[in-house]
Amino acid sequence: MLKAYGVAAAAFAVLAFAGQATAQDAEAGKKVFIKCAVCHGIGDTKKPLGPTLNGVIGRTAGTEPEFAAKAAGYSKAMKEAGAAGLVWDEAAIAEYITDPKKKIPGNKMAFAGLKVEKERLDVIAYIKTFAN
Ligand code: HEC
């Protein structure tokens, strides 16, 4: 009986730890977003160098209307990725911001990538708070 309790407690501890390790923290993500904010507007902020990230989750790649209308808007590679069916869910964004040039060769986001998983999860949690 005691032994079984010990196993259950250990399993719970592992689960609790895993939960903590992957929890998304939008507040922390706001600070990570400073790295993106050079180019990307969000909320009421507008930035000329990149598409707004309001509502990006669930949006087809390369289709934010204001940025798409610019002469120096999306790259051919990004538009083609969208045309081929790339929709920005959380997993796709995580993969893209880890290594933008690897996920979409030829795209023009001049960003080396976020190599720390926690920063990716947090920044996505922050972006998620701006649905439109
Ligand atoms: C140096 C400027 C710059 C930085 C820094 C930057 N981006 Fe970008 N981002 C761009 C540009 C430009 C595009 C469009 C790329 C293209 O069309 O090839 C883009 C595209 C995107 C897209 C696809 C949007 C769409 O409408 O299809 C996402 C998502 C994105 N960036 C997220 C981020 C995140 C998150 C960060 C910070 C971790 C970041 N970016 C940092 C310039 C930047």
- 38 pocket-lining for ligand 1 (C-beta < 6 Å): yes
Do the beta carbons of residue 97 and residue 77 sit within 8 Å? no
Please write the tens of the pLDDT for every residue from 83-119. Answer: 999 999 999 999 999 999 999 999 999 999 999 999 9
Ligand 1 midpoint to CA 109 (Å): 5
Q: Can you give the pLDDT at residue 67?
A: 98
CA–CA distance, 59 with 82 (Å, rounded to integer): 9
The yes or no reply on domain 25-128 and CATH 1.10.760.10 is yes
Look up residue 69 and give its two tokens: 């209308």
Q: Can you give the pLDDT at residue 23?
A: 78
Please write the tens of the pLDDT for every residue from 3-30. Answer: 655 555 555 544 444 445 557 899 999 9
Domain locations along the chain: 25-128
- Which amino acid is located at 79 in the chain? K
Kindly give the number of the ligand 1 atom that is closest to the alpha carbon of 107: 18
Q: Can you give the pLDDT at residue 81?
A: 98
Kindly give the number of the ligand 1 atom that is closest to the alpha carbon of 108: 18
| Mean pLDDT value across residues 31-40 | 98
C-alpha to C-alpha distances, 34 to 57, 71, 119, 124, nearest whole angstrom: 19, 26, 12, 13
Look up residue 55 and give its two tokens: 């509502």
